Amino acid sequence: MGAVHTMNRTIARRLAAHAYALRIPRKAFSSQAPGNDVSSLPACPSNEHVVKPSLKNDGQLYDVAIVGGGMVGMALACSLARMPLTKQLNVAIIDSNPALQNKLIIKKEDPPDPRVSTVTPATISLFKDVGAWEYVLQNRHAFFDKMQVWDYTGLGYTRYEARDINKEALGCVVENKVLHYALLSCLQNTEFQKTIYSSRLTSMAVHRSSSSTRADNSSSITTLHNQGNLAKLDLSDGSSLYAKLVVGSDGGKSRVRELAGFKTTGWNYPQNAIICTVEHTVENQCAWQRFLPAGPIALLPIGDKFSNIVWTMSPKEASDCNSMKEDDFIKAVNHALDYGYGPHPKSSLLGNGDIFSWLRADATSSARESFEVPPKVVKLASTRMVFPLSLRHANDYASKRVALIGDAAHTVHPLAGQGVNMGFEDAFALSKVIAEGIAVGTDIGEVSLLKKYEAERKPANIMMMAVLDGFQKAYSVDFGPLNVLRAAAFNGAHYISPLKRSIISYASGEQKLPLFS
């Protein structure tokens, strides 16, 4: 292990000598302007390859500017802070969220926030790699090892269990504020050079000159920007800064995406989602999802006898549910999760699955599990929130000096809870590509380097989006023959062990669907 660390330090010193990113003469920048670092940690020791701007220039210079300090943006910052080749980078984080400046205090006894994410085993592994998962475990969270999915027609259902793939859990439900807190805490406990701007991006300029342009010894920041070697960002507080690479992690209405001219493809669904926290008399340890005529309803465990509701329906129905009295809303939820809209599935449309008996020798343990009714909701434990649903995908994830991650690159239907996991995978993939660029002395804002990130993440994201959109469309039609086909699909997933294992592994982020591998 010591030899590995020595090798990494040697590589870093050699790369510094190359001034890897822009070949910028060091004497052009003589001092670091005071930053806005909320961590109050000692400054990181000087590293030669970290460019430090002069006060006489009209803006600070950073290696990376992350626009959007939410969960995905902070995941990128954490990953950069932990890797040997990127931890010396000087990074700006631009976000007006006061939580970045004033560390959020989370009390376990507080009721859960309705905004939660279901993180997959693959995401948990990434969080462990950067040291953030230990902070999640200090707060409320709920692992679940079982999931039941069924149709309102009563024709079929399927159950998934972690032991089907020799795992301890299928996933973990965590409040978004806890994930954000964990990442922020992880970042603050490093010596990573970061400056947090409590502001919004108003304009951005990237000159498209040739990547062969070199800076001479008298080059200023402005000259380098004009030569296409830097992006310039103007903020709502009147300040400006420059960066070799701008990363848009600023959500579905990304300002970076708009200013950089990325085109998108997508559509709005004729559905809204209503989310809230509910309470039971017993602890819920299973994830439940029922497909209803207007859209799915999911009941996700959060721990401490709490669950999260994500209920998709028409905008009119969502408005009505949001304005219901609490007792009426609880009755509607229990109705939707029990006998409402149709009967409970018996065992299956195909009897006891005898048609699949030839596979029974390899049957998963969950194939022998009977249908169960979810625990009753007894109380509303949060406000109800309603938001519209859409699918959007950026045609490109990267251009010169700009890359998109998370919802800035793709937004999906929430029916499988995959959106934030896709974003986290984007963040960690981009950080690795940046490290690869540093390792070979490449400008980290060069489009040829950033396209490697796009080539890795775009096909995976498109496939997941296609699967989720297909589910949304297949379960939005109430038509007899289609209902039977859906039931057959449920039963196939329930009894055909190889198919079930592949579905679980894919949803866990651990493998591609064999059909598309």
Evaluate whether residue 24 is within a structural domain.
no
Maximum CA pair distance of the chain?
A: 81
d(CA 313, CA 306): 22
pLDDT at 228: 59
Task: Output the six-digit token pair for 121.
Answer: 């085993």
What spatial distance separates the first Cα and last Cα of the chain, rounded to whole Å?
35
What is the domain range of residue 121?
A: 60-206+229-348+356-508
d(CA 118, CA 414): 10
Evaluate whether residue 273 is within a structural domain.
yes
- Domain total of the chain: 1
Evaluate whether residue 22 is within a structural domain.
no
Write out pLDDT tens, residues 368-377.
Answer: 678 899 999 9
Contacts of 368 by beta carbon, 8 Å cutoff, 6+ apart: none
pTM: 0.81
Evaluate whether residue 212 is within a structural domain.
no
Evaluate whether residue 97 is within a structural domain.
yes
Q: What is the CATH number of the domain that holds 339?
A: 3.50.50.60
- Per-residue pLDDT in tens (0 to 9) along the chain, 517 residues: 444 344 444 434 433 333 333 333 333 333 333 333 333 323 333 332 333 333 334 689 999 999 999 999 999 999 999 999 999 999 999 999 988 877 677 887 888 899 999 999 999 999 999 999 999 999 999 999 999 999 888 887 888 898 887 889 999 999 999 999 999 999 988 989 999 999 999 999 986 544 444 434 345 666 555 555 899 999 999 999 999 999 999 999 999 999 999 999 999 999 999 999 999 999 999 999 998 988 899 999 999 899 999 999 999 999 999 999 999 999 999 999 998 888 888 754 444 444 444 444 455 555 567 889 999 999 999 999 999 999 999 999 999 999 999 999 999 988 667 889 999 999 999 999 999 999 999 999 999 999 999 999 999 999 888 888 877 776 665 555 666 666 666 666 655 566 666 666 666 666 554 444 4
Evaluate whether residue 216 is within a structural domain.
no
Strand partners, 463: none
d(CA 293, CA 151): 9
Write out pLDDT tens, residues 32-75.
Answer: 333 333 333 233 333 323 333 333 346 899 999 999 999 999 99
Evaluate whether residue 220 is within a structural domain.
no
Is residue 288 exposed (0-12), middle (13-18) or buried (19+ Cβ within 10 Å)? buried
Evaluate whether residue 190 is within a structural domain.
yes
